[in-house]
Amino acid sequence: MYSSFAQLKTDCLDCTDCPLADTRTQVVFGVGVEDAEVLFVGEGPGENEDLQGEPFVGRGGQLLDKYLEHIDLSRGKNIYIANIVKCRPPKNRDPREEEQAACEHWLREQMRLIHPKIIVCLGRIAAQKIIKPDFRVTKEHGVFFERKGFYLMGTYHPASLLRNPAQKGDALADFVLLRDKILQVCERTY
């Protein structure tokens, strides 16, 4: 267990615990405020993220930033963003079970140190890993699950919204629900 976020990051950046280390450009640890009350979790870095070392920086990331801005959140101000796996799966395929399992301890330590009140899962992979194995984004997006005093919610992955623009309205509504939940349970976010 780590007591320092900086040490956790330093060690994670050197990780070679799974085969994704062989094909990555760099580890994408996460970005944001280290004591944020709201944590966003995606599935893994894509091409732009692998090159720049930051989660959600491509077109999907720009869309995510727009939704965040809509409810007065930003990665520089009041949230943290991380991924289930910290290294890019080749050709943006889904991270394999064994890769997720190998990487899980980094996210678990991030969660323990950040200690968020709300975790928002971006897309199926993150929601099935963190909320429940049979989570279905189309049916359960925007629903808050309470677990041991904190709240979990799943919504669409921004990349999926770029492919299916018809879902953008539902995603925006999820962010409005998120704002309501923040106002209800968080003390420092706004």
What does the binding site for ligand SF4 look like in residue numbers (CB under 6 A)?
Answer: 12, 15-18, 20-21, 27, 85-87, 99, 102-103, 106
Minimum gap (Å) between residue 120 Cβ and ligand SF4: 21
Nearer to ligand SF4, 37 or 109 (CB): 109
Residue 60 CB contacts under 8 Å (≥ 6 apart), including other chains: 46, 157, 158, 159, 161, 162
Minimum distance from residue 59 beta carbon to ligand SF4 (Å):
23
Nearer CB in complex with ligand SF4: 27/64: 27
The Cα–Cα gap between 82 and 84 comes to 7
Angle between helices 168-185 and 59-70 (to 10 degrees): 50
Structure tokens at 153: 């919610």
Is 11 or 72 the residue whose CB approaches ligand SF4 more closely?
Answer: 11
Distance of alpha carbon 123 from alpha carbon 166, whole angstroms? 16
CB of 22 to ligand SF4, least distance (A): 9
Closest separation between CB of residue 16 and ligand SF4, Å?
Answer: 6
